[in-house]
Amino acid sequence: MHLKRRITKLGIYQAGKPIEEVQKEYGLTKVIKLASNENPYGCSPRAISAGNKMLQQLALYPDSNATALKGKLASHHNVKEEQLLLGNGSDEIIQLLCRSILDETCNSVMADITFPQYRHNSMIEGAEIRQVPLMDGYHDLDSMARAVDENTKVVWICNPNNPTGTYINEKSLRLFLEQIPSTCLVVIDEAYAEYVAALDFPNSMSLVHEYNNVLLLRTFSKAYGLASCRVGYAVGNENLIASLNIVRAPFNVGKLSQAVAAAALDDQAFIQETHIKNRTEMEKYYQFCTANKLAYYPSQTNFLLFEVKQSGELLFEKLLKEGVIVRPGEKLGFPNFIRVTIGKEDDNAVVLEKLNKYINS
């Protein structure tokens, strides 16, 4: 049996360690997992009760068109239902986009370093990968625009960027879009949109109205606290969405997930609360970095990438033994840094105390 050659050169996604595994391995009762940017406050109680009710209907196939959820999303974002595509997480939409658009004859442009799934899925389709280094942790949009040519089919913009947490403002994004040919799709991945506090963050829904070649990605996995449900969505041009629907598997989003996501969307107070608590707790990490003279990337997300002045990998191991899971920067391309998801007040206090100990020893 022979796989496509290029697949054999790729590796399996390295997910953060599951809590249960760490508990067993180190004999711990409590583990604080701040490695995968999950919402530490869980999800809306309304989502849970909607899910509970739906458990009676597990024998049924889901609505292939996710009509109810789409209807809610359409009014929430003031777009047409025909402009929405739902995915098994936005990960699946990235895969769908690559499968539908890319092949060996074209190239795909993205930042280096950004969310790894853009590169991974572009490579599987055989496209040439053009990675443009970040500038001080920010997308270098001028260089990215210059990397685009007549064979570029997709440009990936992660805003705010994972793993740096940095963002692109409206003015810069508009200047960039003006330089991109209409034949090239610009995917703007806003997985952390609900966490953004910056006032000059792009109003991307209006960009979708203005530019036919802009496609937005959003997800229920981060601020909505539904990572397990696997629901993401794209907002874009109706014709493109219709074409992507041809490629999509008919029942890609489960019935339970559709119901839970729809109920979660109705509870915007939960999102507001999550947003506020996250910003309050983020400040504590900023203060910690400033007090210890550690460089960090100002974040518009629920995670912070900061310097630890020692191997992030070794610090990760030490913290792991004490029941705290973070992401070592080495795994993300930032040696001597760690990426920490902003947790709950009590957990952050524990983590910051441990960090203090290791940074100053």
Ligand X SMILES: *Cc1c(COP(=O)(O)O)cnc(C)c1O
Contact positions vs ligand X (CB under 6 A): 37, 89-91, 115, 158, 162, 189, 191, 219, 221-222, 227, 232
The pair of structure tokens assigned to 300 is 């518009």
Q: Closest distance between ligand X and the C-beta of residue 315, in Å? A: 22
Report the distance separating Cα 80 and Cα 169, nearest Å.
26
Q: Closest distance between ligand X and the C-beta of residue 230, in Å? A: 6
Residue 124 burial by CB count (10 A; 0-12/13-18/19+): exposed, middle or buried? middle
Report the distance separating Cα 273 and Cα 64, nearest Å.
32
Query: Cβ-closest residue to ligand X?
Result: 89
Report the distance separating Cα 163 and Cα 121, nearest Å.
18
Say if CB 275 and CB 41 are below 8 A apart. Answer: no
Q: Closest distance between ligand X and the C-beta of residue 163, in Å? A: 8
Give the residue with the Cβ less far from ligand X, 37 or 122: 37
Give the residue with the Cβ less far from ligand X, 131 or 292: 131
Give the residue with the Cβ less far from ligand X, 51 or 323: 51
| Chain centroid offset of residue 352 CA | 24
Give the residue with the Cβ less far from ligand X, 72 or 218: 218
Q: Closest distance between ligand X and the C-beta of residue 38, in Å? A: 9
Give the residue with the Cβ less far from ligand X, 208 or 223: 223
Give the residue with the Cβ less far from ligand X, 300 or 323: 300
Q: Closest distance between ligand X and the C-beta of residue 115, in Å? A: 4
Q: Closest distance between ligand X and the C-beta of residue 278, in Å? A: 15
Dihedral pair phi/psi, residue 294, rounded to 5°: -105, 130
Report the distance separating Cα 76 and Cα 38, nearest Å.
23
Long-range CB pairs of 53-62, under 8 A, 24+ apart, other chains included: 53/259, 54/255, 54/256, 54/259, 54/260, 55/256, 57/255, 58/255, 58/256, 60/255, 61/251, 61/255, 62/251, 62/253, 62/254, 62/255, 62/257, 62/258
